[in-house]
Amino acid sequence: MRNGVRFAGGQKGISTDALIDTLAGDLSATPVPSVRRTLALAFAFGSAVSAAAMLELLGLRPDMASALATASFWIKLIFPFGLAVAGLMAVDRLGRPGAAAGRGYAVGIAVAGTMALLASVQLATAPRDAIRPLLLGHTLDHCTALIMLLALPILAAGMYAMRQMAPTRLRLAGAAVGVTAGALSASIYAIACDETALPFVTLWYGAGIALTGVLGALLGPRLLRW
Question: Rule CB under 8 A: which residues touch other proteins?
Answer: 1-2, 4-11, 14, 16, 19-30, 32-35, 95-99, 165-166, 168, 225-226
| Smallest separation, CB 223 to other proteins (Å) | 15
Cβ(185)–Cβ(135) below 8 Å = no
Q: Which is nearer to other proteins, 38 or 196 (CB)?
A: 38
- Please, what is the end-to-end C-alpha distance for the chain in angstroms? 25
Name the residue nearer to other proteins (CB basis): 104 or 206: 104
CA distance 88 to 162: 11
Q: In this structure, are residues 150 and 185 in contact, taking their beta carbons and an 8 Å threshold?
A: yes
Residues 6+ apart with CB under 8 A from 9: none
What is the Cα–Cα distance from 105 to 8, expressed in whole angstroms? 50
| Closest CB 96 distance from other proteins, rounded Å | 5
Least distance from other proteins to the Cβ atom of residue 102, Å: 12
Give me the least distance between CB of 59 and other proteins, in Å please: 40
Q: What is the smallest separation between the CB atom of 158 and other proteins, expressed in angstroms?
A: 16
Q: Residue 1 or 124: which CB sits closer to other proteins?
A: 1
Cα angle value 19/25/29 (rounded, 5°): 130
Q: Which is nearer to other proteins, 104 or 137 (CB)?
A: 104
Q: Compute φ and ψ for 6, nearest 5 degrees.
A: -95, 135
Residue closer to other proteins by CB (options 19, 121) is 19
